[in-house]
Chains A and B, each alone.
Chain A
Amino acid sequence: MALIETAGLTKEYGQVKALNGLDFQLEPGIIGLVGANGAGKSTLIKILLGLVAPTSGRASVLGMDVAAEARGIRKVVGYMPEHDCLPPDVGATEFVTHMARISGLPRTAARERTAEVLRHVGLYEERYRQIGGYSTGMKQRVKLAQALAHDPKLLLLDEPTNGLDPTGRDEMLDLIKRTGTEFGISVVVASHLLGEIEQVCSFLLAIDAGRVLKAAPISTFTQRTSVLAVEVEEGADRLAAALMGRGFRAKQDEACVLIALEDEALYDAVRDAVADLGLPLVRIQQERRRLEDIFREAVPASAGAQ
């Protein structure tokens, strides 16, 4: 059974088409959702939660149709909104227990589950303090905890690292990865940061102007290219010349030499050329394609101003 499936999914707000015939199928796993601002990410999330009805087309989550079984979907889906949505004057324990009870858990189960998820997200003594006094990182953890409270099968996270500093970001990304792998919960992470999607996700869904731009495993976007990059502290010009002298197609780019990798013999040629010239070697690396290239290649008409 597909995790999420859409067919011809369209949503119009007056004249504006937020989603324009979206077709995709996602298998369980950790999925990154990217798109330009206004591409329809938020609309898609609202439709998947059964909060907004599509204008036409259909969508299903874990085999349940969003129009017919919205309540059933929300029972098994946890949602972490992007905006600041926490009440400032209650503690995390009280808030998450409340959310668990809203999801239908009995009082005792809600309490136990709350203790569990707060520990999972790394909130300990702070949990009884009022949320209003929390740091950004702690608030993000509470938002994640309430999404996990009712033991969902799927998490929808909208920009979970927003406002976090580098340490907080690393911790949140690690938490998302652990939630996805150790608990076997599927996760959809909406983010603008391609680097963090590459770090935690196994699949990428990129939407643009209400349509699917790309949908494929992350590894297909970051394949190795047939270019070998060799970086030296000094003497890149001499190294490039030496390699060209040996019949390789080499080009100097500042401290780097980029060489077409057509023959395994290149590796030995690089080693020998660097050794012969006595150059300090910084890096040898087969270049990879970058996730951001998909946004450099495909520029739709509506974003032409960029």
Chain B
Amino acid sequence: MTAEVLPAPVAAPVAAPAIELAGAARWYGNVVAVNDVSFSLGAGVTGLLGPNGAGKTTLLHMLAGFLAPSAGTVRVLGRSPHRDPSVYRQIGLVPERESVYSFLTGFEYVRYNGRLQGLANADSAARVAIARVGLEDAADRPIGTYSKGMRQRAKVAGALVHEPQVLLLDEPFNGMDPRQRLAMMDLLGEMANAGRTILFSSHILEEVERIGTEILVMVAGRLAASGDFRAIRALMTDRPHTVTIHSSDDRKLATTLMADSAVFAVELQPNGLSVRTAHLSAFRRIVATSCQAAQVRLLEVLPADESLESVFDYLVRR
């Protein structure tokens, strides 16, 4: 037999997603934490969103190999991570809980993580990881003396020390101050650009929106949506789009806009016109020409419900 006889499987590994769930579920007794979830993720950064208790942490723990799925399959880099240390070598996990030993220094903690992953050069790898999170100055102090933001960064360094291909972070921004948040956003972006797969959970939607557009939204154990949130918004055809427009003469512009079939409601408000349309693309093409026709000066155009916050709201509060 030669390779030519079986061409299909040879090409497959290149396209294999880093994370793949098929019908994955996890229940604790009668409590269903994760219910029939299927998705796959490749390289890049993805935000994991959902209300408290939606199953985000359980999902991350299944991906990290802590928990076996009660039903369905969970695959990381093509293999089931549960009880498979060879997969752990490729996974970095930043858990939500305080999971650091207060009597170790930051450096020792990160080095031990490196040794746990079987690194031959744990010392130098720990130095590199500490520098990446900007913790050099405090590296030789016990973690017990750290502030919350510093402990958080020590956890991130511990998860990065073995240069994992897949990084899972549960509320990584928790306790970080504004400057540390900006640095962490940059770090996640850099690692995603370097081809790693990063999945992080967060409640701070405006931050998620700045890191990337790919999201997974969980509601009550189920996957409510996945993908680019702008594409998800576009699929919500039952939700008309609202655009706020301010011009030199809003009343005059309102009459012109109302004549267009793309528009089905216009409301005069103190800060401009609130225009509702079922055909956003069509509407976007007539805004400027309508202003020309009405002979008004166009001062401001703002999409009112296209943000991640609106999309999340529509998904969760239905």
Contacts and interface: CB of A to CB of B under 8 A. Distances in A.
A and B pair up = yes
B52 A165 contact: yes
A135 B51 CA distance: 11
Contacts of B7: none
B297 interface: yes
Contact of B150 (A37, A169, A272, A278): A37
A138 B313 CA distance: 20
A222 interface: no
B301 A192 contact: no
A282 B301 contact: yes
Contacts of A280: 281, 284-285
B179 interface: yes
Interface in B285-318: 285, 287-289, 291-292, 297-303, 309, 312-313, 316-317
Interface of B: 49-53, 134-137, 147-150, 174-183, 203-206, 281, 284-285, 287-289, 291-292, 297-303, 309, 312-313, 316-317
11 contacts: A37-B147, A165-B203, A192-B177, A192-B181, A233-B281, A271-B292, A281-B284, A281-B285, A283-B303, A284-B298, A292-B182
Interface in A277-303: 278-286, 292, 295-296, 299, 303
A275 interface: yes
A102 interface: no
Contact of A282 (B52, B174, B303): B303
B301 A284 contact: yes
A221 to B, nearest CB: 12
A162 B51 CA distance: 14
Contact of A305 (B49, B135, B176, B291): B135
Given A169-B203, A281-B287, A292-B182, A36 B177 contact: yes
Given A166-B203, A166-B309, A306-B183, A281 B301 contact: yes
Contacts of A103: none
* Residue among A137, A270, A305 facing the most chain B CB atoms (10 A cut-off): A305
A125 to B, nearest CB: 19
Given A286-B300, A295-B179, A306 B292 contact: no
A256 interface: no
B52 A137 contact: yes
Interface in A189-247: 192-195, 233
Contacts of A195: 204, 206
Contacts of B50: 165
A20 B317 CA distance: 47
Contacts of B203: 164-166, 169
B57 to A, nearest CB: 13
* Residue among A135, A136, A268, A299 facing the most chain B CB atoms (10 A cut-off): A268
A34 interface: yes
Contacts of A108: none
Given A165-B203, A281-B284, A285-B301, A37 B148 contact: yes
Contacts of A81: none
A295 B180 CA distance: 10
Interface residues on A, range: 35 or more
A-B pairs, top 6 by smallest CB distance, nearest first, are A280-B284, A275-B288, A274-B288, A37-B147, A37-B149, A284-B301
Contact of B51 (A35, A167, A292): A167
A36 B180 CA distance: 8
B135 A271 contact: no
Contacts of B135: 305
A268 B150 contact: no
Contact of A135 (B53, B148, B291, B309): B53
A162 B288 CA distance: 44
Contacts of A35: 177
B281 A166 contact: no
* Residue among A194, A279, A283 facing the most chain B CB atoms (10 A cut-off): A283
Contact of B292 (A233, A272, A283, A303): A272
Contact of A283 (B51, B150, B175, B302): B302
A195 B206 CA distance: 8
* Residue among A39, A274, A286, A292 facing the most chain B CB atoms (10 A cut-off): A274
A284 B299 contact: yes
A8 interface: no
Interface in A151-179: 162-169
A295 B176 contact: no
A275 B51 contact: no
A292 B185 CA distance: 13
A185 B244 CA distance: 34
Contacts of A278: 285
A37 B176 contact: yes
A211 to B, nearest CB: 15
Nearest to B313: A166
A292 B297 contact: no
A170 to B, nearest CB: 9
Contacts of B181: 192
A295 B300 contact: no
Contacts of B288: 271-272, 274-275, 279, 281
Nearest to A284: B301
Contacts of B174: 162-163
A285 B300 contact: yes
Contacts of A136: 52
A174 to B, nearest CB: 14
